Amino acid sequence: MPKSWTDSAPAPEILKEQAHLKDPLTYKLKKALLGKPLNRHLLSHQRLSKVFALGVLSSDCISSSAYGTENILYYLLPAFGMAGFSILMPMTFIVLAILVIVTLSYREVVMVYTKTGGSYVVARENFGPVVAQIAAVALMLDYIVTVAVQTAAGTSALTSAFSSLAPYTLEITLGVIALLLFGNLKGVKEAGRAFAAPTYLFVTSVVFVLIVGIWKQIHGTLAHVVTGAGSMPMGHSQQLLTAAAIFVLLRAFANGGSSLTGLEAISNGVSLFKAPEGRNARRTTVIMSTILGSLVLGVSWLAKETHAWPYATGTPTVISQIADVVFGRGVVGHILYLFVQFSTMLILYTGANTPFSGFPFLANFIAEDGFLPRQLTKRGHRLVFSNGIILLAIASSTLILVVGSNVAKLIAFYAIGVFTGFAMAGFGMAKRAITMKEAHWRKRFAINITSGTISLLIVIIFGVVKFTEGAWLIVLIFPVATMALIRLNRQYRTEQMALKIDEEKSRATSIARHDVAVLVDAVDVATVGAIRYARSLNPHTLTAVHFVIDDRHAQTIATDWAKNKALSDVPLELIDCPDRRLPNAAVDFAIRGTTNLDVELTLLFPRRSYSFFLGRILHDRTAESIASPISQLPRVVATIVPFDVEKIIAGKPLTRATTMPAPIAAKVPQAVAKLATPDIALSLPGPVSHYAEELLPIGNATWRQRAHVRGRVTSILTAPTGSAPGLDIEIWDETGGITLHFLGRRGIAGLNVGTTVCAEGMVGESGGHLTIMNPSYEIVV
């Protein structure tokens, strides 16, 4: 080929895409369902003001006021009868006191851990990664149960307004989870501002119920709820200090603790806030807790005054009964009632969406620490952690199928995970306070140790009083799951130690002698291709080996080998394999070939690929069965050389693009038009000058002319440390690619794969492609 500097040299070309693989059916279905894949360079997140952050992050927490009071009454009324309403308010105040203490603790968390908060990071930073797995299990269980409880509660709000839908409660709940799964796989972001609306809608509707209820109570027109069939049975008044009564009170208190779920959501999303993140998150946490406490107190008071009664099936809900009594049965009242139910349903379903953002990020964080499978760190088709989203949907749906779409039954699985997280955060922040001893550390220590102790006490109470109702499963899962995470991490660390480069291994990058053997089972195109590849390895010795398990077949191979002139310089060795155990024979051959410590042996296996279904029936997979044990030997490399027979039969070899691909070609006029705007004029190649002012599409760059181009960095090649410094950077736009070659440099600060850069210089040639040598450049932010 003529050199570029001669007159007869062919003109070099821009870089083009060379091959396009056919999309498999699964990928086509994924693209049809979820849309086109998103470019990873689009990955970013939205910063939120306090107003929007409150609406987005607090839906899970504030929505728990819709069922917190009901869960307390679920145990009080069957045990104490009408006296249960008198106990309701004192118990609500106890729950609110705990809310205050935990809120004070989380004010410290969000101020310190402004990037990635939550009890997992608090525990990891203060107690180490092993102890942090307790918080990891607690948070993961919390997220799973949150999806189940929130969707079940949202469905209860729906069926309370439309009782005809009650028989389809389970199907509706599972359908909502499926919709949340689909939406999040498509890339629905929790940080989207639309998610703030349901929170404010719900708060507005409940506050309106409270105002009307208080007004009616003052004027003596607030009626009592008329209970119907299916309501919880009415108990009889009894002494509060008996063992049985105390046990019931503890159960009711444990159920009431569900009102505090979601309180940690802001600590898990501090990085979403506008600067200063910590201060804004702290204020939002206080506002969220104040709203939650006010709503829980108001709903409990109205439940006491209206004698709202919980139902065994979960519908109609207590808040539904309150709204019905407060607004009355008139047309306007019914419209207002439906508004309350709609806003309740909306915030509960929105709250169920919160874990679909939190759980995948938590799982990704734990997996990066090496305590969960690495697959959970990979982003999917739409730049979300798809594996984590799917895992959450499957786990929560399974819980719904096993327990049913009933909030009262699901609560048994709830508070242990929630309050374990609170306890880990409290104890972690207390340890940090006493370790760092910053300003006011004694006060901080007192707040956090109190929060941790109370939360731990609630976990113990919940585990005891709810043990027979399903808490036994959580009590069992906790240690098993924690030990499983630790065991998984141990396996990862063992593998990393095995692959760690020590001083001896770092020196063993070259070897004195390299031999290659090609294992043959037939003399065909695949074998010839493997021999051609073997020659490219420049081995000291190249040998073809056939293990004889059939004498006639071996003789045929030997005859065909001798006839083929392309193989005349490669000796064929026939090795007896009397027991027909090919892997054993291959291992024995490899060991004998590497007796000397300065010899490395590469075994090449020509693998013929056939059709997916018939190929498995008509052909075995001998190459894989032999390569697996071979790869375990020192100084032996097993390499499979694939050869696609099905492509030859179908007449469809891999397509190589000799012209610009259609998708790119279609964009060229748009790109040129965009560059030809008044701000950036399009420049055609002209006489050689010292500088090209106007931007060109890369596809219009001309050899031996100056060009000013703009594109995204797709590849960075750095010269080896043992050679002269050099840097090759490929940049692409919609019209093609060009290489920027920098002499005397090994890196450019701020320039990474994905960076957009403008470059200007003389267009030269390297390897038949356009190159700009040592261009002037500007990194576009």
Look at residue 2 in the predicted model and tell me its pLDDT: 46
Residue 513's beta-bridge partner residues?
A: 599
Distance CA 282, CA 289 (A): 11
Residue 392 pLDDT level (bands cut at 50, 70, 90): very high
- Does the pLDDT of residue 618 top 60, yes or no? no
Range 311-321 average pLDDT: 83
| 726-733 and 706-718 beta bridge pairing | antiparallel
Average pLDDT over residues 9-28: 71
In order, the DSSP letters of 427-463 are HHHHHHHHHH--TTHHHHHHHHHHHHHHHHHHHHHHH
Tens digit of each residue's pLDDT (9 = 90 or more) over 53-86:
787 788 888 888 888 888 888 888 887 888 888 8
Rounded CA separation 171/169 (Å): 6
pLDDT on residue 382: 79
Lowest mean pLDDT among 176-190, 198-212, 296-310, 554-568: 176-190
DSSP 114-175: -SS-HHHHHHHHHH-HHHHHHHHHHHHHHHHHHHHHHHHHHHHHHHHH-GGGGGGHHHHHHH
Mean pLDDT for the stretch of residues 564-575: 86
| Selected residue with higher pLDDT from 143 and 50 | 143
SS3 (DSSP) at 15: strand
Instruction: Quote the Cα angle for 751-757-759, to 5°.
Output: 115
In this model, does residue 295 exceed pLDDT 90? yes
- More confident of the two residues 175 and 35: 175
Confidence of residue 445 (pLDDT cuts 50, 70, 90): very high
Model confidence at 719: pLDDT above 90: no
Q: Name the pLDDT band for 1 (thresholds 50, 70, 90).
A: very low
The answer to which of 382-391, 392-401, 490-499 has the lowest mean pLDDT is 490-499
pTM: 0.76
What is the reported pLDDT for 467?
A: 80
Cα 398 to Cα 396: distance, rounded to the nearest angstrom: 5
Total number of residues shown for the chain: 781
Give yes or no for residue 629 having a pLDDT over 50: yes
Would you say 620 and 587 are in contact if contact means Cβ atoms under 8 Å apart? no
Predicted confidence band at 611 (pLDDT cuts at 50, 70, 90)? low
Please determine, for residue 338, whether its predicted confidence score (pLDDT) is greater than 80.
yes
Distance CA 322, CA 334 (A): 12
Cis peptide before 37 (omega within 30 of 0): no
Is the confidence at residue 749, as pLDDT, over 80?
Answer: yes
Which residue do the tokens 């009711």 mark? Answer: 252
Residue 8: predicted pLDDT: 58
Q: What are the tokens at 98?
A: 């705990």
Q: Which two tokens stand for residue 394?
A: 């499957």
Percent of the chain with pLDDT over 90: 19
Encode pLDDT of 492-547 as tens digits: 888 888 777 666 555 555 667 889 999 988 888 888 888 999 998 889 899 998 88
- Quick count: other Cβ atoms within 10 Å of Cβ 255? 30
Residue 37 DSSP code: P
- pLDDT of res. 70: 85
pLDDT of res. 674: 42
Q: Which residues contact 119 (CB under 8 A, 6 or more apart)?
A: 109, 135, 138, 139, 264, 267, 421, 422, 424, 425, 428
Residues 349 and 688: their CA atoms lie apart, in Å, by 65
Burial tier of 499 (Cβ tally within 10 Å: 0-12, 13-18, 19+):
exposed
Lowest mean pLDDT among 68-82, 87-101, 419-433, 554-568: 68-82
pLDDT of residue 238: 56
Give the C-alpha separation, 390 to 396, whole Å: 10
Distance of alpha carbon 754 from alpha carbon 506, whole angstroms: 31
Please state, in angstroms and rounded to a whole number, the distance separating the CA atoms of residues 146 and 393: 11
pLDDT value at position 244? 72
pLDDT at position 676, please? 39
Structure confidence at residue 44 as a pLDDT band (50, 70, 90): low
Which of the residue ranges 42-51, 224-233, 276-285, 645-654 would you say has the lowest mean pLDDT?
645-654
The answer to whether residue 102 scores a pLDDT higher than 70 is yes
Percent of the chain clearing pLDDT 70 (strictly above): 84
Alpha helices, DSSP H only, in 383-440?
386-403, 407-410, 415-436
> Smallest Cα–Cα separation from 708: which of 723, 692, 722, 697?
692
Instruction: Specify the 3-state DSSP secondary structure of 113.
Output: coil
Range 167-172 contact pairs with CB under 8 angstroms and sequence separation of 24 or more: 169/314, 169/315, 169/405, 170/400, 170/401, 170/404, 170/405, 172/405
Average pLDDT, integer, range 666-692: 41
Beta bridge partners of 743: 726
In 554-696, at which residue ranges do the beta strands (DSSP E only) sit?
572-576, 599-609, 636-644, 695-696
What's residue 659's pLDDT?
Answer: 43
Place of tokens 């000291």: 540
Q: Indicate the average pLDDT of the chain.
A: 81
Q: Which residue has the higher pLDDT, 464 or 620?
A: 464
User: pLDDT higher for 664 or 192?
Assistant: 192
Give me the pLDDT at residue 279, please. 87
What is d(CA 43, CA 273) in angstroms, rounded to the nearest whole number?
17
Tell which wins on pLDDT, 700 or 620: 700
Describe the strand order of the beta sheet including 599-609 as a list of residue ranges.
Answer: 572-576, 541-548, 513-519, 599-609, 636-644
Taking Cα atoms as reference points, which of 160, 197, 191 lies closest to residue 66? 160
How far apart are the C-alpha atoms of 448 and 457, rounded to whole Å?
14
Q: Are 63 and 347 in contact (CB under 8 A)?
A: yes
Work out the pLDDT band at 679, boundaries 50, 70, 90: very low
